[in-house]
Structures are given as structure tokens and as C-alpha cells.
């Protein structure tokens, strides 16, 4: 028995020894080869950015709050808030995409627009740097606004409503006094939208339904209900079963390609909150940050060596923090150090960088100030030296009421 155990142990040691040798001689594969993804050129662009030209939109899309998911084989392998992405991300070799999204995309909710965009695929190669590119984002759910004419509201019961159903069971009920827009998640294969007026008009119960098929994401359905005038022909789009006294007309706007007429013609619409822009800072929720007319925090801005780029910061209580992070493949920390700057600037506590910052005409020691002008026009000739390139400035400004983060995206055309 002892002899058998000894033989077994010797055999086991031999197997383990072979395993060890195989590792030493490279029989097992090496650890996963790694490459790098540079995010300095990763910019976000909203395809319906022209909507900001409409005065009815009071909200802004905050690019800083977008989430960027690095995807491989349909799975998220890295995830970052856009304003907090590192300049370089280490990844195993392979093929990836980057997905940007903002919002929660619920089945049905009030004032919940959802934006989404996906990059073209890119390949990470061992010991190489891959440049991420611009991601174009679009509104990816469906907006519905119900409008009751003033004349109809005078005749309809207070409990009258319009029930809107998207797909199988995503539902919102629009009461007589409702002024918000509803947003519905778009699901492939479930693209039917039905709106039903249900209530009494001058004591007579009315039911009027309209059904739309082939509903696409990024569209706005503005459905207006009016008293029916004898001899009129209600809008024939969609399939309608008219009630006795109520007409429904529908305007469909593709928000990803057209300027939405907005709510200017909506009764009381001029004061309604919302629009296609999510979650704005409420008054008092941090300083107010604005930029030169013609430039935007919501898109990639085309600039040249002579461009004027001025950011104004207003605070009711006085600024407590103001930092600027520069993300650029050309304005590296080494380049900035040569002009006594850094890729991280603190305008409240500039420290040893105070002289370099102020030499460019930038403000320093701004703590407690209620109005600050951050003019980076002096950076434009410096950016132009490096030719066609993209740069990001991430501004974080705070006061006693909160913090605001803005991402300024610049594309230099020297």
C-alpha cells in the first residue's frame, strides 16, 4: 500500500512539474494584450441641436451629464459620465463601440426625453492608441403633446381626458388642465400610438379615437382637440372614429431633422415648463453659466485662430469654486507647462499657476465674486498652431446653492 501511495505522489508531482514547465516555456497563452483608447477627440453632437433656435425651448441638454458606455459584444465593459472621462482608457484588444445616452427612457412618463447615440465600431490593438470620434445623439423616444382649444375647454367637463397608449400598455392620461408633454419609450415591433378623447361635452358623453402606425423615435405628436364645426373635414391622417362634437388634428414633427414649432400657439403654452430638453438647473441651483452668442455648450463649436470665446458666470451668493480641465491631444500637460499652465486650472486657488493664468487675461482668485468673465479667446491662436484638432474645456463652478458643470467642445479650423 505504501509503495502505491509513493508511486501516486511521484506521478502527481510529475504532472504538476509539467504544468509548471509549460507555463515557464510559454505553453499557456499570455495575459490579454492591452491597447489604449484616447478620448480627446470624443465629442458629442445632438442632431436636433437646431431646436435651440426656437424660443419656446427653455431647457438645455447638459452634455456633461451624458453617460458613455464602452461596449464589446453587446456588453458594457466601461462606463463614465462624459464630464469625468479619463483622457486615455486601457482596454484589451478587440472591437468596440461607444454608446452615449442621457435620461431614463421609461415606458411612459412626463417630461422625460431620452437621448442616445452610438459610435462606429473601433479596434483596440496591442500597444497602440486608438482615437475615439464624435458620437451623434438623437432623441430616441416619442413625445406627445395634447392641446385643447379654449373654446372646447369652456364646454368640456372637468374630468374629460385624453388617454394615450403607445404599443401594448404604456399609457398616460392628459387631463383638461395638463400642460406637460408625455414621453413614450420606442420599442421595435411595438410602434402604434393611440389617442382617445373620453369625456362629456355640454353634457353629452363623447369618445373620439385616433390611431397612428409606424411611429418612429424622435418624433413629436401634437394632437389638438377642438369643437367640431358642421361641414368641416377633420384631418384625415391616422384612422379616426369621430365623436359628435370633437375634432382632432395631428401635427407630426421629426425632432431629429426639423425645427419644432414649439408651444407658442398652445393656449397658455408660453409659460409651460419642459420641452425636449431634460432636467434643467432650477433657479438657485448653482451659478448661471452662459457663452458667446453663436456658440453652445450643447454641440461641437467650429472655431479658428481669431474666434471670440467668452464664458460669463453669474452667482447670486458669490462663487466658491471654479475649475477648468483641459482635455486635448495637443495641449498636453507638457505643452501647457511651457507657458506656466496646467491641464487643471483652479481659478479660486490658482497657487503657483497664478502668474501663467493671469498672463493670458484669465481671471484668478475669483472666490466670493458674483460675476466672472472667462475669456479664452487668447487660447485660439495657440490651438491653431496645432492645426485641425478637437479640444474640450470642462468647467465646474459652484456657489452656496450648488454646482454646475459645463463641457465646451471646440473643433479648430485654422
- Residue 41 shares a structural domain with residue 84: yes
- Residue 146 shares a structural domain with residue 213: yes
State the average pLDDT over residues 262-285. 45
Which among 381, 385, 383, 391 has a CA at the least distance from the CA of 411?
391
Mean pLDDT of the chain: 82
Q: What residues make up the domain containing 380?
A: 288-412
What is the predicted pLDDT for the residue at 120?
95
The answer on pLDDT for 89 being more than 80 is: yes
What is the predicted pLDDT for the residue at 142?
94
- Residue 310 shares a structural domain with residue 242: no
How many domains are there within the chain?
Answer: 3
Q: What is the CATH number of the domain that holds 50?
A: 2.60.40
Residue in the block written with cell 426625453: 113
Model confidence pLDDT, tens digit, residues 344-402:
999 999 999 999 999 989 999 999 999 999 999 988 998 999 889 899 999 999 999 99
The answer on pLDDT for 41 being more than 80 is: yes
The answer on pLDDT for 223 being more than 70 is: yes
Query: Is 186 contained in some domain?
Result: yes
- Residue 216 shares a structural domain with residue 247: yes
- Residue 233 shares a structural domain with residue 171: yes
What is the predicted pLDDT for the residue at 399?
95
* Interacting residues of 13 by C-beta distance below 8 A, sequence separation 6+: none
The answer on pLDDT for 276 being more than 70 is: no
The pTM is what?
0.74
Query: Is 307 contained in some domain?
Result: yes
Rounded to 5 degrees, what are φ and ψ at 201?
-125, 115
- Residue 127 shares a structural domain with residue 204: no
Rounded to 5 degrees, what are φ and ψ at 30?
-65, 165
* Interacting residues of 189 by C-beta distance below 8 A, sequence separation 6+: none
- Residue 343 shares a structural domain with residue 315: yes
Q: Exposed (0-12), middle (13-18) or buried (19+): which is 211, by Cβ within 10 Å? A: middle
Model confidence pLDDT, tens digit, residues 299-326:
899 999 999 999 999 999 999 999 999 9
Per DSSP, the three-state class of 345 is strand
Model confidence pLDDT, tens digit, residues 118-128:
999 999 999 99
Amino acid at each position: 500500500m505504501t509503495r502505491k501511495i509513493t508511486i501516486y505522489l511521484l506521478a502527481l508531482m510529475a504532472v504538476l512539474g509539467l504544468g509548471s514547465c509549460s507555463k515557464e516555456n510559454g505553453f499557456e497563452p499570455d495575459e490579454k494584450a492591452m491597447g489604449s483608447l484616447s478620448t480627446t477627440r470624443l465629442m458629442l453632437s445632438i442632431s436636433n441641436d437646431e431646436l435651440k433656435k426656437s424660443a419656446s425651448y427653455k431647457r438645455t441638454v447638459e452634455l456633461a451629464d451624458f453617460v458613455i458606455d464602452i461596449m464589446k459584444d453587446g456588453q458594457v465593459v466601461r462606463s463614465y459620465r462624459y464630464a469625468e472621462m479619463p483622457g486615455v482608457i486601457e482596454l484589451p484588444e478587440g472591437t468596440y463601440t461607444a454608446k452615449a445616452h442621457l435620461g431614463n427612457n421609461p415606458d411612459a412618463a412626463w417630461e422625460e426625453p431620452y437621448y442616445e447615440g452610438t459610435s462606429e465600431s473601433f479596434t483596440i490593438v496591442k500597444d497602440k492608441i486608438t482615437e475615439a470620434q464624435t458620437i451623434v445623439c438623437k432623441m430616441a423616444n416619442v413625445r406627445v403633446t395634447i392641446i385643447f382649444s379654449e373654446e372646447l375647454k369652456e364646454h368640456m367637463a372637468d374630468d374629460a381626458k385624453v388617454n394615450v397608449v403607445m404599443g401594448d400598455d404604456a399609457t398616460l392620461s392628459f387631463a383638461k388642465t395638463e400642460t406637460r408633454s408625455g414621453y413614450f419609450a420606442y420599442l421595435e415591433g411595438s410602434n402604434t400610438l393611440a389617442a382617445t378623447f373620453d369625456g362629456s361635452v355640454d353634457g353629452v358623453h363623447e369618445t373620439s379615437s385616433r390611431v397612428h402606425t409606424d411611429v418612429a423615435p424622435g418624433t413629436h405628436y401634437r394632437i389638438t382637440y377642438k369643437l367640431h364645426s358642421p361641414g368641416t373635414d377633420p384631418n384625415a391622417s391616422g384612422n379616426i372614429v369621430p365623436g359628435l362634437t370633437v375634432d382632432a388634428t395631428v401635427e407630426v414633427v421629426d425632432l431629429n431633422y426639423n425645427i419644432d414649432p414649439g408651444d407658442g400657439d398652445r393656449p397658455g403654452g408660453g409659460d409651460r415648463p419642459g420641452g425636449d430638453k431634460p432636467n434643467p438647473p432650477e433657479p438657485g441651483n448653482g451659478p448661471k453659466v452662459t457663452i458667446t452668442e453663436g456658440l453652445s455648450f450643447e454641440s461641437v463649436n467650429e472655431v479658428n485662430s481669431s474666434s471670440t470665446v467668452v464664458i460669463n458666470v453669474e452667482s447670486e451668493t458669490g462663487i466658491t469654486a471654479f475649475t477648468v480641465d483641459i482635455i486635448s491631444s495637443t495641449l498636453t500637460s507638457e505643452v501647457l507647462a511651457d507657458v506656466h499652465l496646467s491641464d487643471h486650472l483652479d481659478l479660486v486657488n490658482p497657487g503657483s499657476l497664478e502668474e501663467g493664468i493671469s498672463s493670458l487675461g484669465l481671471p484668478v482668485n475669483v472666490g466670493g465674486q458674483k460675476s466672472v468673465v472667462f475669456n479664452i479667446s487668447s487660447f485660439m491662436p495657440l490651438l491653431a498652431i496645432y492645426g485641425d484638432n478637437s479640444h474640450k474645456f470642462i468647467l465646474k463652478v459652484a456657489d452656496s446653492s450648488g454646482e454646475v458643470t459645463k463641457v465646451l467642445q471646440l473643433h479648430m479650423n485654422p
